[in-house]
Amino acid sequence: MSKPSLLILLAAPRGFCAGVDRAIKIVELALERFGAPVYVRHEIVHNRHVVEELEGKGAIFVEELDEVPDDVPVVFSAHGVPKNIPAEADRRKLMYVDATCPLVSKVHREVEHHDRTGYHILMIGHAGHPEVIGTMGQVADGAITLIESEEDAETVQPKDPANLAYVTQTTLSVDDTAGIVEILTRRFPHIHGPRKEDICYATTNRQESVKAIAERCDRLLVIGAPNSSNSRRLVEVSEKQGVPSRLVQKAAEIDWEWLKGVTTIGITAGASAPEVLVQEVISALSEHYDVRLEEVETAREAVTFKIPAALRDSAA
């Protein structure tokens, strides 16, 4: 019995970004330099496959610094941490390496600058996300107000509307964020925004690649973790294009009933999902369908970030 035909439109770019590559490499180099165990505060990136691979090499993941014993190295995740975390590590004389994505660090510097200038800061982002917690933790409590939606943007009542600035989480929906920014700039014409867009290049590129393939797809699979903000935004982007989309962490999570009757499927991966998971999904589809693969490239990425100086000898 012949298998039904299936065209797979493979989004490019997809998967790992430069910040994720750097963060994973930092943990691997720390293990090489210091030996196991190396502790990591929070998942280094939001992907269980990556975390489990690093655990197998000797990394131990914890949620808080008080779970880290004395006299062992600790790495801070790519999402960034509040200022009190490195301060506490210094107090305890812990050896630590900061794997915060440089594009998140850029937002931290913006927040500090706005605070020094005397502006109240509005942060567009999702409550509870580690990047938001880290960014808001760069300044004193009350210096930042979180804006999660257009409704928040319409109803926020700052004490001094003439002295405002805004920043954004780096992994948001480009379109949704533009709507919120439009409301804020309408309500507060003198609000100061970032000189360069806070949403990172990889988030933007992956959303644009989904838009490019969505018009040709019956369904779209996003490979990524449920706690990955940028992966969840890819699902939303697809749905807004009218294409049913599902987030899966690996091939075993594919809902075959959901794919019944489908002739064209799109595949992409969030910025913290490794390519091995993409290939695993394609292999699983090949077992059920006569697959034809077409890669649709909308941008080429050549961004790299430096490894922290403390680990550069190991990287040589």
Is 200 annotated as contributing to ligand binding?
Answer: yes
Is 170 annotated as contributing to ligand binding?
Answer: yes
For the stretch 70-89, pLDDT in tens is 999 999 999 999 999 999 99
Is 149 annotated as contributing to ligand binding?
Answer: no
pLDDT of residue 107: 97
Is 217 annotated as contributing to ligand binding?
Answer: no
pLDDT confidence tier of residue 195, bands split at 50, 70 and 90: confident
* Whole-number percent of the chain with pLDDT over 70: 99
Alpha carbon 160 to chain centroid, angstroms: 32
214: exposed, middle or buried (Cβ count in 10 Å: 0-12, 13-18, 19+): buried
pLDDT of 20 > 80? The answer is: yes
pLDDT of residue 65: 95
pLDDT of 315 > 70? The answer is: no
Catalytic residue at 28? no
Rg of the chain's alpha carbons, rounded to an integer? Answer: 21
Question: Of 28, 43, 110, 131, which is the active-site residue?
Answer: 131
For the stretch 289-300, pLDDT in tens is 999 999 999 999
State the Cα–Cα distance between residues 282 and 225, nearest whole angstrom: 18
Is 227 annotated as contributing to ligand binding?
Answer: no
* Whole-number percent of the chain with pLDDT over 90: 95
Average pLDDT over residues 16-41: 96
Average pLDDT over residues 243-257: 97
Instruction: Give me the half-sphere count of Cα atoms (radius 13 Å) on the Cβ side of residue 76.
Output: 27
Taking the model in full, what pTM does it have? 0.93
pLDDT confidence tier of residue 40, bands split at 50, 70 and 90: very high
Is 272 annotated as contributing to ligand binding?
Answer: yes
